[in-house]
Structure 1
């Protein structure tokens, strides 16, 4: 029922205006989203890089329903990458791309072509692309497109979600030389047949997957805000003799910035996932609707900077 209420709110322009203009909620949005334009993203990126952090920029646009919209998203990324290169920020900044925003749900070939154009622009700018993972129905398609992209752009990154039962196997497949894999818990509402439901089971899966990636020959990107999992990752990285340039931590923009600073000061590479775009309202509401428990997560993030 709560999920239905949140989804209904996500379609309400009236509630969107209230969220955008109310002082408290406006500050919350600014904390988790860089802004609506590429200039906003560049400004936030410059600040983060100046603080010794790396960045992964996500242009918000998951509701692509036709080819023109998909091409517009592609062009936005190409322009953004040009801006990163011009500003001297590309070395520390990659981009994260959702294939659904490039047309995956209605034309996989178009999505692959658009993704290839973004990868080419990233290579020209001196950086890389990571393909975000969405709900389980798109996993095979996303990994297939990833394999095609890596033929010409071997640095293209993948995202795997520990709550999916298949992910240990996917980690073994992707823990290869030159492979970049972001491991996260997963935030979509998935059926028990494909995903672990209990938090402890998801955490155990995360640690198993983490061990596979750290033991492999790829480049693990450890995406979690969970203090216990971060501590385990620090310990496991030492166990597997990983040097600081052989893996990285990733955290969301605005979430636990003190922890981001601590990890960076300890010599780790820390990458901040930075969203921007006019679809910020839909982005936040969908994150909540996919998993209403995220309400408590964002509340804790607002209440503490640790």
Structure 2
């Protein structure tokens, strides 16, 4: 395991440390630095960010931050936040044709609630999908740690029965993902391929960055050759170049797939990709629960750690 892999594992551990979280969240400097990655905590903040992204010719997907919900009222609050968000985006003319969509985590909608958690989360997701359809856009179902993969894919199948355009997310660091790509590379299927941002055991996931990259390329080949709509979620210049080459080999039209990057990371490259005629979607998070998100983003790309530390030093 190299130094970058060790740093990644350490950051993933920190994402669960409440004492460290309290220190960072209470530091005034943290919020000013975090705004590069999270535009704000309120709906108005993220609608404004989405409007700016749309004006630059980029697409967007919005995540209301929160996961591991253990109270029904909290799950209902998340559902209502998404429904209200979709209404606000529609009122601003941002949703038609899927220009701005939303991304959902089932754990934030009640999946872990005792008893009927899966059903509760699915019902909440259905309500959000209904609001998205009314707004003229769609939904992508985020993937979480490996213990929920099968349940998330089952919920995806149920949602697609009524809402065929619901997108899936697959994580290249899991051994199973290449097979899942084959299952989902079908006509009308939208699949976001990412590397993965949770700490997973060696029994289910590749541990070395080089092995994850190789898996990503294998999975991407499956998706590009398939009949679905690949969504290439990566900031890695090598993988972006490979994705373009594979799309060309498969004879894909630029509108038959898209690139995705996180809000605040490589914005100049995002604009360059959009300006050359390819589709570029920006993943925009918002809300109070930004700490775990930030730690996972730094774990995915250790260069982000240096950005954060430089920001602290400058602001301090």
What is residue 5 of structure 2 aligned with on the other side? none
Partner of 1:88: 93
Pair 1:260-2:270 in alignment: yes
* 1:64-75 to 2 correspondences below 5 Å: 64-75=69-80
Q: Give the distance between the partners of 2:86 and 2:287, measured in 1 at CA.
A: 15
Alignment of 1:48-67 (within 5 A): 48-67=53-72
- The equivalent residue for 2:313 is none
Give the Cα separation in 2 of the matches to 1:174 and 1:5: 33
Give the C-alpha shift of residue 12 in structure 1: 4.6
Q: How many residues align?
A: 296
Report matched runs for 1:73-152 at 5 Å.
73-91=78-96, 92-106=99-113, 107-152=117-162
- Counterpart Cα distance in 1 of 2:301 and 2:233: 19
TM-score scaled by length of structure 1: 0.92
Aligned pair in 2 of structure 1 residues 12, 231: CA closer, same or farther (>3 Å)?
closer
The answer (yes or no) to whether the contact 2:16–2:292 under 8 Å persists in 1 is no
Q: How many angstroms does 1:17 deviate by?
A: 1.2
What is the match of residue 226 of structure 1? 236
1:17 aligned to 5, 26, 32, which one? 26
Tell me the distance in 2 between the aligned counterparts of 1:13 and 1:301: 20
Shift in alpha-carbon separation, 1:2–1:173, aligned structure 2, 3 A: closer
- In structure 2, stretches of 5+ residues that fail to align are 1-8, 311-316
8 Å Cα contact 1:84-1:90 kept in structure 2: yes
Is the Cα–Cα contact under 8 Å of residues 167 and 192 in structure 2 kept in the other structure? yes
Query: Could you say what the CA RMSD is over the residues aligned between the two structures, in angstroms?
Result: 1.9
**Runs (5+) with no aligned partner, structure 1:** none
CA offset digits 1:56-85 (Å, max 9, x no partner): 000001131111111110010000001111
Candidates 40, 48, 59, aligned match of 1:43: 48
1:295 shift after superposition: 7.0
In structure 2, C-alpha distance between the alignment counterparts of 1:11 and 1:75, rounded to whole Å: 30
Using the size of structure 2 for normalisation, the TM-score is 0.89
1:9·1:15 contact (CA, 8 Å) conserved in 2? Answer: no
SS of 1:32's partner is coil
Structure 1 residue 101 displacement after superposition: 0.1
Aligned counterparts of 2:125 and 2:89: Cα–Cα separation in 1: 18
Distance (Å, rounded) in 2 between the aligned partners of 1:301 and 1:203: 23
In 1, Cα distance between the equivalents of 2:274 and 2:130? 30
Q: 1:8: how far off?
A: 2.7
Which 4+ runs in 1 deviate beyond 6 A?
none
Q: How does 1:142-181 map to 2 (within 5 A)?
A: 142-181=152-191
Give the whole-Å Cα distance in 2 for the aligned partners of 1:270 and 1:296. Answer: 23
Structure 1 residue 105: deviation in Å? 1.5
